[in-house]
Chain A
């Protein structure tokens, strides 16, 4: 296992390097510079701005500067937000995205697995159809439709929850974004879980367990759940990263100070270092969570060994 983890870490380094290089080229080839503006900047000032951020140097030198930033984990000033360094901004925004993302993930996992199990145990019944209809709706409604609808109902008509804001992560500010974010994942997890559970329930070892006279609930919890959850686990790694980083829409609708907004603004403002930094973090997270998923696989399924 340890060997496997070390191997994964070693592979991660060149992977990240390739990611950084491709992103660097892409970001620098976008038209316009961080300082292109409606108002003219005098040439002498422009020269100084460019020198300040090393933008006057050849691209390869800029690339080396950036690699140095990565190694020292000091990404320098943001081109857009002059009062903060990139480290400042990421450090402030990341906990927000993690908190919302983690809660949404947990909620999606619990509700999704439970709904999938219930549906599979009542295959082709009214319960099954209702759960699956709900799952289909969940997969079909994009969160930019769901989130404003939730705001309309709970914040504007009922006036029981705030329409947006973070307020230090107070619980009532979390409810709507967490639900809106997890809805799609609940639907996906429920569908995967249902299909996998049905397959497991029809396998020979379950039949044997039942033939031995074990109760239905014992069979499900002790024999069926572990193998059935494997496909869900493989889905969880990318889903978690997706929840944390792909929350731009939710962050925009609820005005949350997370990294999704930083990412989009960074790209629009050509805040090169900001975009590259977030790309590395997201890439790193992706590798980390895929590794965790692989480890979990081995823990859950004794047949898998590394």
Chain B
């Protein structure tokens, strides 16, 4: 692996020296919608994170392929009991105003995230990372000062965990964990992200911000790796409408598409195939089966509905933009995880259909006594297409013994009904927060806000609790495989397909990776070719 990484680095360096670059290194990226905030600690949503990854840098960061590498940290040590991590921050790590990035800035930032007064939406993330006392602080039982983070001196930060977390370093690369300039945040409060105040420690700094039109970042000369950063100016355009974004790409106004309209994929593959880039992604699309509602408490019904979905047709024909069929909750792209296909995935679709019919019949449903239910999804053309395809598969396989009514709701209404359990079968999807299997498997543990199937299996919860503290990678992966197999066995959800990330990139843009499981593309790794 090390040899591979070394070779890749040498090859990239070689390619960069032999590729001739244009003098004007400027890039325009489509970015979905207006970011909720540029404050990395309060961030939520992909558009904001994309910009924050260019503006800020965490202790551990990612390379172009998404591997976790040292960022603002120069080195770190881990105590024998794996509870104390001590980070040395790079001497050359500076804010864009020239001030040093200090351990105090990190301590201040992490405490902000869990401070109930700040009310950061991602505060739960520190609980996932196991930082000491997070849960008690969030519940109001302990003061913010008790968080397991301490600046030992200006460049040394000590983080104490409540229990050993094997994926701690990986999780630390999430942009939520970026430092903020303590002095400036304290001085300007909520207004510190305004263009006249903001400073950043990443490869770029804020140049211009017109709400709902564009955010321009310019190269940060104070960044320790500035000499390797090629793009001098990157403009982010918030364009929620995919077709509008595509039009602007075609008109030459955008170099890098946020997302490709799926219904255009085939046409684009015919006309500009070299500009279509597809990356696998840590994320799975699935349907919740509400186990609190009859008859979905019956495992035969859940399995019958799951078996009858032809995932190959769904992934390749209905979608067809690089998605892969999913038979388990964890997608195969997750680093360090070996996906073990469950037995039902190894059957042919014909065999699965036969078993599905039998199970439904055994559960007491047939043409004269059909299974009737509503399939809930949030309003979107693509969700509708998927639901229509799946409903027609059920209709065909069960010969009229299953009657589905499609029901769409706008996002907030859908979320509210889903959370309250006011549904029978509902669409869902999850994009991983970090590149490790638990980012997916945690979803079905008891009490998790996204466990909308209300799956309650103490055996499963015990497995996940054990995995969380198992530091041996091989052993931990085995536990994850067992948990994943348990989901395939109990079928609280119907896994449908593994997400992909398809976009258009102009041929003049170089450096776009072939693999990046979280889809975290940093502008500093890109360049404009001649």
Indicate if B354 sits at the interface (CB-CB under 8 A).
no
The answer to whether A255 and B237 touch (CB under 8 A), given A32-B413, A41-B124, A48-B116, is: yes
The answer to whether A82 and B39 touch (CB under 8 A), given A42-B139, A45-B120, is: yes
The CA-CA distance from A104 to B36 in the complex, in Å, is 31
Additional pairs, 14, CB under 8 Å, beyond known A40-B448, A45-B138: A39-B44, A40-B124, A41-B124, A42-B124, A48-B119, A83-B37, A92-B211, A155-B248, A162-B251, A163-B250, A165-B214, A255-B239, A256-B213, A265-B34
Q: Give chain B's interface residue range (CB within 8 Å of chain A).
A: 35 or more
The answer to whether A257 and B413 touch (CB under 8 A), given A81-B37, A151-B247, is: no
Return the 10 tightest CB-CB contacts between A and B, nearest first.
Answer: A40-B449, A32-B412, A257-B212, A163-B251, A32-B416, A82-B37, A257-B213, A155-B251, A42-B138, A31-B413
A81 contact from B34, B240, B415, Cβ within 8 A: B34
A158 (CB) vs chain B CBs: closest residue: B251
The CA-CA distance from A39 to B128 in the complex, in Å, is 13
The answer to whether A166 and B251 touch (CB under 8 A), given A32-B416, A36-B412, A252-B244, is: no
Mark out the residues of chain A between 272 and 296 whose CB falls within 8 Å of any chain B CB in the assembled complex. Answer: none
B28 (CB) vs chain A CBs: closest residue: A165
Indicate if A156 sits at the interface (CB-CB under 8 A).
yes
- Residue-wise interface mask of B (129-155) relative to A, using a CB-CB cutoff of 8 A (1 in contact, 0 not): 000000000111000000000000000
Indicate if B411 sits at the interface (CB-CB under 8 A).
yes
The answer to whether A44 and B140 touch (CB under 8 A), given A162-B253, A253-B244, is: yes
20 inter-chain pairs at a CB distance below 8 angstroms, sorted by A residue, are A30-B412, A33-B416, A36-B419, A37-B415, A39-B122, A40-B448, A41-B123, A42-B123, A44-B139, A45-B120, A47-B116, A83-B190, A83-B191, A92-B210, A152-B247, A163-B251, A163-B253, A164-B253, A166-B210, A268-B411
The answer to whether A40 and B450 touch (CB under 8 A), given A31-B413, A45-B116, A164-B248, is: yes
Mark out the residues of chain B between 9 and 55 whose CB falls within 8 Å of any chain A CB in the assembled complex. Answer: 33-34, 36-39, 42, 44
- Measured between beta carbons, the chain B residues less than 8 angstroms from A253 are 241, 244
- Measured between beta carbons, the chain A residues less than 8 angstroms from B121 are 35, 37, 39, 41, 45
Instruction: Determine if A93 and B211 form an interchain contact, defined as CB atoms under 8 angstroms apart.
Output: yes
The CA-CA distance from A257 to B239 in the complex, in Å, is 10
- Measured between beta carbons, the chain A residues less than 8 angstroms from B124 are 39-42
B411 (CB) vs chain A CBs: closest residue: A268
Instruction: Determine if A164 and B244 form an interchain contact, defined as CB atoms under 8 angstroms apart.
Output: yes
Mark out the residues of chain A between 81 and 101 whose CB falls within 8 Å of any chain B CB in the assembled complex. Answer: 81-84, 89, 92-93
Instruction: Determine if B244 and A255 form an interchain contact, defined as CB atoms under 8 angstroms apart.
Output: yes
Mark out the residues of chain A between 129 and 171 whose CB falls within 8 Å of any chain B CB in the assembled complex. Answer: 148, 151-152, 155-156, 159, 162-166
The CA-CA distance from A257 to B208 in the complex, in Å, is 14
The CA-CA distance from A284 to B194 in the complex, in Å, is 30
Instruction: Determine if B39 and A252 form an interchain contact, defined as CB atoms under 8 angstroms apart.
Output: no
A151 (CB) vs chain B CBs: closest residue: B247
Indicate if A118 sits at the interface (CB-CB under 8 A).
no
The CA-CA distance from A49 to B138 in the complex, in Å, is 13
Indicate if A43 sits at the interface (CB-CB under 8 A).
yes
A283 to chain B, nearest CB (A): 23
The CA-CA distance from A39 to B411 in the complex, in Å, is 13
A93 contact from B140, B193, B212, B241, Cβ within 8 A: B212
- Measured between beta carbons, the chain B residues less than 8 angstroms from A37 are 44, 121, 415
Indicate if B459 sits at the interface (CB-CB under 8 A).
no
Indicate if A261 sits at the interface (CB-CB under 8 A).
yes
The answer to whether A159 and B251 touch (CB under 8 A), given A40-B124, A48-B119, is: yes
The CA-CA distance from A225 to B313 in the complex, in Å, is 66
Indicate if A270 sits at the interface (CB-CB under 8 A).
yes
A81 (CB) vs chain B CBs: closest residue: B36
The CA-CA distance from A74 to B177 in the complex, in Å, is 33
B237 contact from A36, A165, A270, Cβ within 8 A: A165
Number of interface residues of A (CB under 8 A): 52
The answer to whether A156 and B247 touch (CB under 8 A), given A31-B416, A164-B253, A256-B213, is: yes
The CA-CA distance from A149 to B325 in the complex, in Å, is 37
Most B CB within 10 A of own CB, among A36, A162, A254? A36
- Residue-wise interface mask of B (95-135) relative to A, using a CB-CB cutoff of 8 A (1 in contact, 0 not): 00000000000000000000011011111100000000000
- Measured between beta carbons, the chain B residues less than 8 angstroms from A163 are 244, 247-248, 250-251, 253
- Residue-wise interface mask of A (10-36) relative to B, using a CB-CB cutoff of 8 A (1 in contact, 0 not): 000000000000000000001111011
B447 to chain A, nearest CB (A): 9
Instruction: Determine if A148 and B139 form an interchain contact, defined as CB atoms under 8 angstroms apart.
Output: no
A51 to chain B, nearest CB (A): 9
The CA-CA distance from A166 to B239 in the complex, in Å, is 12
Instruction: Determine if A82 and B42 form an interchain contact, defined as CB atoms under 8 angstroms apart.
Output: yes
- Measured between beta carbons, the chain A residues less than 8 angstroms from B34 are 81, 265
- Measured between beta carbons, the chain B residues less than 8 angstroms from A49 are 119
The CA-CA distance from A152 to B243 in the complex, in Å, is 11
- Measured between beta carbons, the chain B residues less than 8 angstroms from A89 are 211
The CA-CA distance from A49 to B123 in the complex, in Å, is 12
B412 contact from A31, A92, A148, A155, Cβ within 8 A: A31
Indicate if A269 sits at the interface (CB-CB under 8 A).
yes
Indicate if A52 sits at the interface (CB-CB under 8 A).
yes
Indicate if A262 sits at the interface (CB-CB under 8 A).
yes
